[in-house]
């Protein structure tokens, strides 16, 4: 190589010089070309809000307490919650109905009620304890009398019993007032409920209620909570076939609220 280099003609030297110049120009130009040439594909990204799995069902759901997982996909649809058999002539002052709130990866939630006031019933929500038929059989008669029965609707129906525990969940009304001995909704949520429509009977204006405290779910897994909805007849004397609508909701809140 060295020998060859020594033999380069003048023309060759000039050629080499020009080539070097050309190359150095290309080196300078290269980043500009590169800059124009790149960026052929774009990706525009955005986070997706994870759906919250929070549901209301009727009675029993198979659940592994130890591991915090549902044992199967079967749950009792909320349509099996029948608010039936309320007899205002009966001596009973209240009727109990079982329902449940279940979900996955929910930090906490609150229970909400919305109901019309034709019947002037009083509604309360209690935590409930579940008993299998065998556990129920072991209870004293007085305890058994406090239970409500629920039979599942899956392939092999089973009967469970639920009893309210403790006191009613504390909560707050958004819009309740007492007028002449009747509990009625104020008009503060009228627009939210009915919009501009204003020919609404005073008993059809729903009262909104929500639990005062957050109820803990299970941030890392499944959970199920049973509740008793207790309906007080509230001294109503007439079986006048009045109809009320009651909505039960469970609403999850972010951790900070």
Partner 1 sequence: MISFEGKTEKRSLMATAASMGLVIVILVFALFYIIFGHTLGWFASNDSVEAEGMQVAAANNGYEFVVQRTTEYDSLLNGEPKYEDVALLKSTLAAAPYHYDLTAVSTAAASKLAYELQNDAPFRDDNEYWYFLMPGACGSMTFYIHPFSSEGVQANMELTLGCFGVVIDENDRRVVREVTSENVLNMLKGHIIFFTERRVDANDPTDTDKFKYNGLITDGTISYDTTQHTPTTMTLNGEQISVYEITLYWEWPLTYYDISEKTGNTAFADRYPPELLTYMNAHRNWFFAVNQNSNDPDDLSDGYNDGDQMIGESANYFAAFISPIV
Which residues contact partner 1 (rule: CB under 8 A)? 1, 4-5, 8-9, 11-16, 18-20, 22-23, 26-27, 30-31, 33-51, 254, 256-257
The C-alpha atoms of residue 57 and residue 78 are separated, in whole angstroms, by 4
* Cβ at position 11, least distance to partner 1 in Å: 7
* Cβ at position 120, least distance to partner 1 in Å: 34
Closer CB to partner 1, residue 69 or residue 86?
69
The C-alpha atoms of residue 185 and residue 30 are separated, in whole angstroms, by 76
52 DSSP assignment: P
Beta bridge partners of 231: 95, 123
Element (H, E) at 149: strand 147-151
Nearest one of 173, 158, 167 to 230, comparing CA atoms: 167
Q: How many CB atoms lie within 10 A of CB 242?
A: 15
214 DSSP assignment: -
* Cβ at position 231, least distance to partner 1 in Å: 29
Closer CB to partner 1, residue 42 or residue 140?
42
Residue with tokens 């403790």: 166
* Cβ at position 209, least distance to partner 1 in Å: 22
Closer CB to partner 1, residue 30 or residue 71?
30
* Cβ at position 254, least distance to partner 1 in Å: 5
Beta bridge partners of 223: 103
Closer CB to partner 1, residue 4 or residue 212?
4
Closer CB to partner 1, residue 49 or residue 243?
49
* Cβ at position 248, least distance to partner 1 in Å: 20
- Burial of residue 60 (number of CB atoms within 10 Å: 0-12, 13-18, 19+): buried
- Burial of residue 69 (number of CB atoms within 10 Å: 0-12, 13-18, 19+): middle
Closer CB to partner 1, residue 36 or residue 240?
36
């Amino acid at each position: 190589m060295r020998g060859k280099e020594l033999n380069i003609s003048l023309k060759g030297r000039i050629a080499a010089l020009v080539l070097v110049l050309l190359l150095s120009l290309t080196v300078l130009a290269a980043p500009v070309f590169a800059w124009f040439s790149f960026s052929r594909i774009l990706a525009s990204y955005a986070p997706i809000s994870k759906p919250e799995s929070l549901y209301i069902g009727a009675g029993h759901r198979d659940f592994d307490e130890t591991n915090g997982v549902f044992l199967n996909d079967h749950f009792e649809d909320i349509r099996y919650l029948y608010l039936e058999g309320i007899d205002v002539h009966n001596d009973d002052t209240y009727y109990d109905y079982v329902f449940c709130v279940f979900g996955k990866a929910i930090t906490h939630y609150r229970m909400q009620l919305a109901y019309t006031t034709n019947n002037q019933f009083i509604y309360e929500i209690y935590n409930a304890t579940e008993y299998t038929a065998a556990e129920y059989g072991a209870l004293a008669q007085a305890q058994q009398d406090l239970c409500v029965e629920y039979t599942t609707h899956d392939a092999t129906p089973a009967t469970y019993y639920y009893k309210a525990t403790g006191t009613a969940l504390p909560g707050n009304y958004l819009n309740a007032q007492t007028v002449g001995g009747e509990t009625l909704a104020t008009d503060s949520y009228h627009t939210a409920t009915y919009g501009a429509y204003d020919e609404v009977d005073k008993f059809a204006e729903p009262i909104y209620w929500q639990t005062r405290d957050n109820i803990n779910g299970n941030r890392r897994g499944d959970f199920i909570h049973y509740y008793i909805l207790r309906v007080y007849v509230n001294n109503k004397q007439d079986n006048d076939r009045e109809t009320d609508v009651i909505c039960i909701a469970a609403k999850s809140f972010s951790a900070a609220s």
